[in-house]
Structure 1
Amino acid sequence: MLLLETLALLAAHVLSWVAVCHALLTKRDPRSALGWIVTALLLPVLGPLLYMLFGISRAQSRAEKIMRQRAAREPEYAHPACPAEPPERVPEHIVRMAHLGHSLTHQHLCGGNALSPLLNGDEAYPAMLDAINAARSHVFLATYIFNAGHTGSAFIEALSAAAARGVDVRVLVDGIGALYSWRKPWKKLAARGVKAALFLPPKLLPPNLGINLRNHRKVLVCDDMGFTGGMNISDDNIQSGRKSCVRDMHFRCLGPIVNHLRRAFLLNWGFCTGEYTPLPPGSCQARGKSHCRIVMDGPGNDTDTLNDLFCGAVNEARRSVRIMTPYFLPTHELTASLRSAGQRGVDVRVTLPARNNLPYVHWATFRLLPTLLNAGVRIWHQPPPFTHTKLLAVDGYYSQIGSANLDARSLRLNFELNMEVFDPEFHDLLAGHMDEAISLGHEITLDTLKRQSLPVKLRNAACWIFSPYL
């Protein structure tokens, strides 16, 4: 009996130390590692069990598998149709930021591009549908949400017509984003000759019930025209004649950067379907003056590419930083970068929606605003309707557009696609858009926050505690 008790006690301590070693080797946050280590050592049986159930990031492990599969295929898509610009041809005034992006993505800048902002679905959807209707070679569409409604039906008809005339049409919808609509319009596509796939859909067999690891990227490529940004396919983005709607911005892309959008789609498609097809031929013709780079980020990487890039852009700023985002729960690193910029006199302006479709995220944001306001960062709420636009503009020459929000879910758990743009004229377009929103909004000050009641402050703090999971 004594031997059995001794063996059980030894086994319990071995399990505890296995959990300790695993936490030490895999946890990236020292506070999280320390918490689990203490739990495992103080509760020799229960601690390791709790760690096994809740402490091991299965999402991260699966993400690493996804990224390994993608990395194995990337050499096949390493060289889009047009060669990227070597460093010696990059304009001198953008060398430092260009070098940072190259260090993080291993992709050179691509010159000769023209980008056009499209406001809301009223401008974006007709342009996208026209491009689909004009396509003769291929149409590649990736979206997080593809809702039923007039917009969804219009896209179904255009995609089906393209497939009927022999165009290679492929549609990729996120497995969780597909659940936003009770009716699934994209399900009609297969019967009409369109290839359609879901990204990691939830299912029982084999089990996949997780809600993380979402493909949040939005890409449409129609021959030599591309579209990207933050806009889903939904009637919610139509403003005309609607009281309840979502403001957003998408971008039409012309020039060699379209080849890189095409590459991004095919890598995603290959992961979901196992079908890695060669890159279709693309055009190298210069269509504008923008230097661009695609930034694909997701969990499972050794680096936090987008977070590091955001921090680098803010740290590099000497005059101005403008940010517009629907969800603002920045990482510790990005918060420190914004504070530092404000403290050294950079004009840092952040524009957020006054009304959010996720109120608990909105409430959590209030908890972290004082530390930014105290450092000189200025923050505005723009009036309803809810604005889903994600923009970054720095120092008159650098911009970012794309799908990523400034919160933990986007920067840690989602697969995102952003585009760096080096172009003073394009920067001024985005900065002007944000300045107009600021002129219509109201500024949040420390006095504003002090006037909040104690129950409201407690509610905000309670939501902020869970900000890594929102």
Structure 2
Amino acid sequence: MHDWGVPLAIALFALDAYAVLRAILRKSGVSATLAWLLAIIAFPIVGAIGYLLLAGPSIKRATRRNRPTARGAFRRSQAPDPNARGSAGPIDATLALAAQITGLPPTAGNAAEPLTSRDRAYEKIEAAVRAARTRIWAEYYIINNDITGRRFLDLLAEKARAGVEVKLLYDAVGSLRVDERLLRAIGAAGGKTAAFLPVNPFRRRWATHLRNHRKLVIVDDEIGFTGGMNVGDEYTSIGRRSDGLHFHDSHVALRGPAVADLAEIFCEDWQYAAEETLKPIEPPAPVGKCTVAIVPSGPDQVHNAHALIYFTAVATARRRVWLASPYFVPDPPMVQALISAALRGVDVRLLMPAHNDLRIVGWAARSYYAELIRGGVRIFEYQPAMLHAKRMVVDQRWSIVGSANVDIRSFRLNFEVGALIFDGEFAAG
């Protein structure tokens, strides 16, 4: 009989050594690396296999393989606003950083309408979709199987039957309970739907933690919507969640050249999920006075755009940083940036939910309060509803609205999108 003990021991040792080496070289952050190393050492076989399945496959390689070789494949000529980029100082730094990381230069001549009322946001989106003549591209993290979710899917099927091009991209885990029957109805009507990064062992897709958290809608290449709102009753006045919470959120309606940049993000995500290359849209004509930079971020980036932009914005603010984030679990550099800004006289305020739908995250957020308050940061908790808005206002001159929270998931794991809007009136709205 063959003695397989020695070869098996060598193979297991090689497996563990490979997992350890890969964890060290992958640069996933000190905490994550140490956690995986401890798991591999404490549970040699299970830890190594778990690492290679859950953390080993690189989302960066997978997405880059199915996306354009360069974002320039979709680029169009831009016309930056000289007033926004002239002597603004910190605005210059933030704009330059965003463009360098994302490959999307800011565009001038946009109109931006803040949508903070629950029903107002859905009324605007639904009205735009209902009036669509040629094209509807929609991308959401969560589409609930409730009144609002079914109504939205029914409307998309109705527009597809009317001959409008309909494409719906949803996150496979976030929208786990989406009504499959209604998705099939969209397909039967001539539209297309696709799930983003479904868990599929046969394609080595095990990572449930890497999610598409983006929310965006583009209609007729003319108007785009993005922000923090998903599709569900808790985001409207129709109803509440089973835990009794309804959500207060922040969204934005955009018109002008920035809509083409939102559409570009959709094109890239659709190409990855549906394996279909879409033709980029022509930028709409200028219609307003806002300079807007669309900021996508995700684990496919070498440097996370939202993490660096938030840090830079706080570090360079001169007078005011007002920040709302429902899930606040910042890394140490972000904590120090907030405290440093407050100590040099910047009015730093954080707005977070008093009643968090994720209680553990709420407890985690409160663990930062003492250190931040000692450093001069003022913290407020929103009482009327579950605050789900992700927004930052800097120096009363510009703001960012989007899907990214100030937490590790948004800054390292999720695909996010936001709009940097350089307009004093919008920042005050």
Give the TM-score normalised by the residue count of structure 2.
Answer: 0.88
SS in 2 for 1:107: coil
Secondary structure of 2:282's match?
coil
Q: Name which of structure 1's ranges 126-135 and 318-327 shifts more when overlaid on structure 2.
A: 126-135
CA gap 1:47/1:277 in 2 versus in 1, 3 angstroms: same
**2:229 paired residue number:** 231
Query: Cα deviations across residues 64-112 of structure 1 (Å, max 9, x unaligned)?
Result: 12332255354474314x5242889833213222222222223211011
* Number of the residue aligned with 1:78: 74
Q: How does 1:149-164 map to 2 (within 5 A)?
A: 149-164=146-161
Equivalent residue for 1:254?
255
SS at match of 2:57: helix
Distance 1:39 1:144 in 2: 31
Q: Counterpart in 2 of 1:107?
A: 104
Q: After TM superposition, give the deviation of residue 53 of structure 1 in Å.
A: 2.9
Partner Cα separation in structure 1 for residue 78 and residue 377 of structure 2: 40
Counterpart position of 2:287: 287
1:411 CA displacement:
1.3
Q: Is residue 2:150 matched to residue 1:117? A: no
- Give me the whole-angstrom Cα distance separating, in 2, the residues matched to 1:132 and 1:178: 20
Partner of 1:466: none
Deviates more, 1:111-120 or 1:304-313: 111-120
What is the alpha-carbon distance in structure 2 between the residues aligned to residue 293 and residue 142 of structure 1?
Answer: 19
- Offset of residue 225 of structure 1: 0.8
3-state SS of paired residue (2:276):
coil
Q: Which moved more, 1:183-192 or 1:379-388?
A: 183-192
Distance 1:182 1:16 in 2: 42
Aligned amino acid, residue 87 of structure 2: E
Q: What is the match of residue 433 of structure 1?
A: none
Q: Relative to structure 1, is the Cα distance of residues 198 and 373 closer, same or farther in structure 2, using a 3 angstrom cutoff?
A: same
Q: For the Cα contact (< 8 Å) 1:61–1:300, is it kept in 2?
A: no
Asked if structure 1 preserves the Cα contact closer than 8 Å seen for 2:134 and 2:164, the reply is: yes
Counterparts in 2 of 1:372 and 1:168: CA distance versus 1, 3 Å? same
Q: Secondary structure at the match of 2:212?
A: coil
How far residue 183 of structure 1 moved from its aligned partner, in angstroms, is 6.8
Superposition CA RMSD, Å: 2.9
TM alignment of 1:27-426, pairs within 5 A:
27-30=27-30, 33=33, 48-56=44-52, 58-59=54-55, 61-75=57-71, 77-80=73-76, 82-85=77-80, 90-93=85-88, 94-181=91-178, 185-203=182-200, 205-206=202-203, 208-223=205-220, 224-239=222-237, 244-283=245-284, 285-426=285-426
Q: Is the 8 A contact 2:19 2:52 kept in 1?
A: no
Partners of 2:39 and 2:239 in 1: CA distance: 56
Q: 1:376 to 1:5 in 2, by over 3 A?
A: same
Counterparts of 1:346 and 1:57 in 2: how far apart (Å)? 45
Q: Percent of aligned positions with the same letter in both sequences?
A: 32
Tell me the CA shift for residue 354 of structure 1: 0.3
Read off the aligned partner of 1:398 and give its amino acid letter. W
Aligned mates of 1:194, 1:150 — CA distance in 2:
21
Deviations 1:208-247 (A, max 9, x none): 4432111111110001011111101111111268674211
**Amino acid aligned to 1:212:** H
Q: How many residues in Structure 1 have an aligned counterpart in Structure 2? A: 421
Cα distance in 1 for residues equivalent to 2:64 and 2:280: 20
Shift of 1:51: 4.4
Structure 1 residue 176 displacement after superposition:
0.7
Most deviating of 49-58 and 90-99:
49-58
CA contact 1:254–1:287 (8 Å) conserved in 2: yes
Given residue 85 of structure 1, which amino acid in structure 2 is its aligned partner?
P
CA distance in 2, matches of 1:9, 1:352: 52
SS in 2 for 1:380: strand
Deviates more, 1:309-318 or 1:126-135: 126-135
Is the 2:256–2:283 contact (alpha carbons within 8 Å) kept by the matching residues of 1?
no
Letter in 2 for 1:26: R
CA contact 1:110–1:293 (8 Å) conserved in 2: yes
Shift of 1:305: 1.7
Task: Kindly indicate whether the alpha-carbon contact (under 8 Å) linking 1:148 and 1:185 is maintained by their aligned counterparts in 2.
Answer: no
Larger Rg: 1
Asked if the contact 2:19/2:51 (under 8 Å) is kept, the reply is no
Could you tell me how far apart the structure 2 residues matched to 1:241 and 1:206 are? 39
Q: Which moved more, 1:200-209 or 1:253-262?
A: 200-209
